[in-house]
Amino acid sequence: MIRLEDVTKTFAAHTAVRHVSLSVKRGETLAVIGGSGSGKSTLLRLMIGLIRPTSGKIWVGDAEIAQMTESELDEVRLKMGMVFQYSALFDSMTVGENVAFGLREHKKLKESRIASIVREKLHLVGLDGSEHRMPDELSGGMKKRVSLARAIAIDPEIILYDEPSSGLDPITTAKIDDLIITMQKELRVTSVVVTHDMASACYIADRIAMLAGGELIALDTVERFKQMKDPRVRAFFRAMDTEGKGADV
C-alpha cells in the first residue's frame, strides 16, 4: 500500500530522514519507533504528502506522490486518514461536526446520511451519543477517539497514527491500542503507527520499523525484533521498560 524508495528529507542544514526504503503491506499494521528526533513523525508526514522528500520516491498504491500537485495529492489523500498526536480537533465545532468535516468537504451526501455515518463511526470508537459535546468537554483519550472517528469517516484504505498514546494513562493507552487493532480487523485498513511506546508497538504491530538519526536501522516482525542484538535496539527496549508514562484523566 505504501512504498518508499531511497527517501531523504532535509530541512536547511538538518537531515531528518536519510535514504529510507521500506514497504507497508496491504492490511498490515506497521509500528515506527525511535527516540526523539529520530525522524518518525517526518516519515509519517512524507507518507501523507504533508511535506515533500528532498530526494527519493513515495508510492501510495499505484500513485507516486512525491512530484504530484496539491490537487492530485488531495485525490490520493481521500484513501488516507490521519490521527494527529494532539488530536487536532476544531475547538469551535461539536464532536459531530468534527467527525463530519471530511464528509462535508469531499463527499456529496445528504445531511441525513452524514449524520448516520457520524453515529456509526462514533459507535465504533465507543463514543455513542457524543455528537453535541464540545472538544473542551472531553478527556485526552476521548479526543483521540474522536480524531480516529474523523479519520475513518471517509472509509480510508490507510490510517496513519502520530503518537496515538502520547500523554495518556496506561488504561486509556490500552483502549487506544485495542481500537487500532479493531480498525484493522473490522475495516481491513492498512495502518502505520508512530509511537514511543514499545509495549504498544509489540501489541498492535505485525512488523516494527526503527529509526535512529533519520536512518532505518531495523525492520522485522515483532518476535524477530525482540531477538535483535543491535545495541541501539536493545537500548530502546531497556529504556521503554523503565520509562514512566504520563497521565490524562
Whether 11 and 41 have beta carbons less than 8 Å apart is answered as: no
Q: Which domains does the chain have, with CATH numbers?
A: 2-242 (3.40.50.300)
Position 98 confidence tier, pLDDT thresholds 50, 70, 90: very high
pLDDT top residue among 131 and 36: 131
Residue 185 predicted with pLDDT over 80: yes
Instruction: Measure the CA–CA gap between 62 and 18, rounded to whole angstroms.
Output: 24
Check residue 249 and give its pLDDT. Answer: 26
pTM value? 0.87
Residue 63 predicted with pLDDT over 50: yes
Helix (H) or strand (E) holding 6: strand 2-11
Helix ranges (H only) for 78-209 are: 95-106, 111-124, 140-152, 170-187, 198-204
C-alpha cell at 66: 512525491
Position 11 confidence tier, pLDDT thresholds 50, 70, 90: very high
Residue 245 predicted with pLDDT over 70: no
Q: What are the strands, taking DSSP E only, across 61-194? A: 63-64, 80-83, 158-162, 190-194
How confident is the model over 76-94, as pLDDT tens digits? 988 898 888 777 889 999 9
Residue 195 main-chain phi, psi, to 5 deg: -150, 150
Instruction: Measure the CA–CA gap between 159 and 155, rounded to whole angstroms.
Output: 10
Residue 2 predicted with pLDDT over 60: yes
In the numeric block, the cell 489523500 is attached to 77
Residue 246 predicted with pLDDT over 50: no
> Mean pLDDT across the chain, nearest whole number?
88
Helix (H) or strand (E) holding 41: helix 40-48
C-alpha cell at 169: 494513562
